Chains A and B, each alone.
Chain A
């Protein structure tokens, strides 16, 4: 950082530019020292607690509850009471108005939420401000409108609420995932017990203020915090009618196993290892932006991240050159700085996992590229990374890294691209870049994935169904299709 000097005549043009720090103010957020569980419309003092931190600085942000089976039981009980005592019988038009209220309050308080989200989760403020918050509010708006129109979404099927939904969400988009879960559940007349991720509970806890502000009847939304033990207690609770889980494939399988034979409804949104396929006729500069957005958005903590780049051989050198050049311009650092492109890794545990897989990539023979980059001393960080010379069998081409690490493979023909793209156990998303319309549609048909982005990547919208094929899970969130998991039909 240099001071701007007084203008001199015939001064040479500057040869390098630097960004001035542009930190978003933290003052907009008021942290409490200790948070309870939100059960039956009020705060309940937790029996056990743990500390939640900022992954960018490792500073303690507060004490939060580690919910015990008893506390989960109380939350499920409150949800059941609220379901039976009015919420499910409320006219859809009234439920809608509560959801509209929540959407409006989220918009009004979006700055506060965005800062808190970046503080607790490590994601750049640019993203929490421009992606997470607007989308979360939009999700409530979208599903609010469905609440009194369910009979039109499912004609002749007499849609009914399921009951109490247990919802477990991940740490990569804490508030947005909460919105994806709570908005459709409430629109359909259910009540919920939601458990935010262990490392990112604060935005869900702030959301409880919104629930109170909106005067939602007590018990319609209950939030309990804690680690996997709390999630386990929720999954196995007999009073829960439906489980919605977003997270790792490993935990998803454990939940499916746990629910075997119970007849409980289940939706799973799990991991991915998406292929982003670049054909030689693609608009390369746009494709490079799409690749960067695909894998470095939110530090690569995205289940649908384009983590496998498939490049047609004829443009390989050119594209990789452009990509590496683009990587040098990414700004890694303080999540609260408005110029930051890549923030902090969410937790020590996640950083360990990324480091382990990156080491495996090197060991297996892939070539690593990382742009020059100065990382902050405290906190959890990982430099945006590209692996070239990757074979399909390498762990970095098969396993979800969930970090800013791209594995590059090549192909010659469209058939080979499809074969390689589909060669994982996952099937959440895929990207295809080509100027040829018929090829876009052919690829879109043949890629075994729930979402296909053509000449774009990582776009989300409440009206657009999202969810996976194969081991990426089942059920859809978003759109009319996202209502179905929260309904039963009296046919």
Chain B
């Protein structure tokens, strides 16, 4: 008698746990039944991200870099599984290397972006980058794993908490990634992943008043509508072009804070 394999139920990733969609609905993608998130799931994910944000942002930059590096380690150990869910081994390797590359920026970008400002008066004045807060990401469909990692890593390394709308057509790589994240040192709620119909979910994410910024790189055809919704809370909106790996992708989700103090005895 051959053994009957235990099948995986593909679920959402919110606040560090794996719930089904609140709606109970699923849809079929890549031959599997995948959770079809509802707008309530979007709200739950934003709430989880908001709660996780302060601690994540307050970690030392060195520590955040290590957490990201640990994530790369976790992906390396799942390389074979991941390879089956994207274009293959090479895409997995590029994705892992990209996370390592971004991990290294954690404690370096503030030195590139920050400044001490020579004001004309007896004041010490400096500018430093800080994370924006909760970032909503609409992930491009292709390439399934690399596009996902390319949009997640820069927002994450800057200290933001993230709500990702996975590719509607290729959600399995995202789900596999959440399992790696759950076993890494990324605190619960810092990364939240929703699968489902993008056209249905993205408007709620874009209009949510507690989301600070949007990455609309994967929002083809919906950009104008989502940008309009984003204006209601003056969200920062970013769209990357092509397969980009750059520190300015991190900077897109950073604020600059300037501090003044008098100098005197």
Binding site for B on A (CB under 8 A): 138, 249, 252-254, 256-257, 259-261, 268, 270, 425, 440, 444-445, 449-456, 459, 461, 463-467, 469-474, 476, 479-481, 489, 491
Contact = CB atoms under 8 A, between A and B. Distances in A.
A481 B127 contact: yes
B117 to A, nearest CB: 5
Contacts of B230: 256, 260
A172 B121 CA distance: 23
A253 B234 contact: yes
B234 A456 contact: no
A157 B118 CA distance: 24
A302 to B, nearest CB: 15
Contacts of A464: 117, 119, 125, 127, 258, 260
Contacts of B225: 260-261
Nearest to A260: B227
Contacts of B259: 444, 451-452, 454
B261 interface: yes
B120 interface: yes
Contact of A256 (B132, B231, B258, B261): B231
B261 A440 contact: yes
Contacts of A253: 231-232, 234
Nearest to A473: B234
B123 A444 contact: no
Interface residues of B, number: 35
A260 B231 contact: yes
A453 B260 contact: yes
B80 interface: no
Contacts of B132: 469
Contact of A268 (B119, B234, B246, B257): B234
Contact of B228 (A260, A474, A481, A489): A260
A480 B258 CA distance: 12
A251 to B, nearest CB: 11
9 contacts: A256-B227, A260-B224, A260-B226, A261-B224, A451-B259, A456-B261, A459-B121, A463-B118, A465-B117
Interface string B202-238: 0000000000100000000001111110111110100
A481 B116 CA distance: 12
What is the predominant secondary structure among interface residues of chain B facing chain A?
mixed
Contact of B234 (A249, A459, A479): A249
Interface of B: 115, 117-121, 123, 125, 127, 130, 132-133, 212, 223-228, 230-234, 236, 246, 248, 255-262
Contact of B119 (A252, A463, A469): A463
A425 B233 contact: yes
Contacts of B224: 260-261
Given A261-B223, A461-B119, A452 B260 contact: yes
B135 to A, nearest CB: 13
Nearest to A259: B227
A481 B256 contact: yes
Given A256-B234, A453-B260, 6 more contacts: A259-B227, A451-B257, A461-B117, A465-B115, A481-B115, A491-B248
A292 B236 CA distance: 33
A154 to B, nearest CB: 10
A380 to B, nearest CB: 30
Contacts of A461: 117, 119-121, 125
B260 A451 contact: yes
Contacts of B232: 253
B257 A452 contact: yes
B133 to A, nearest CB: 8
Q: Which 3 A-B pairs have the closest CB atoms?
A: A261-B224, A260-B227, A256-B231
A451 B224 CA distance: 31
Contacts of A481: 115, 127, 256
A461 B116 CA distance: 13
A444 B234 contact: no
Contacts of A256: 227, 230-231, 234
Contact of A479 (B120, B127, B262): B127
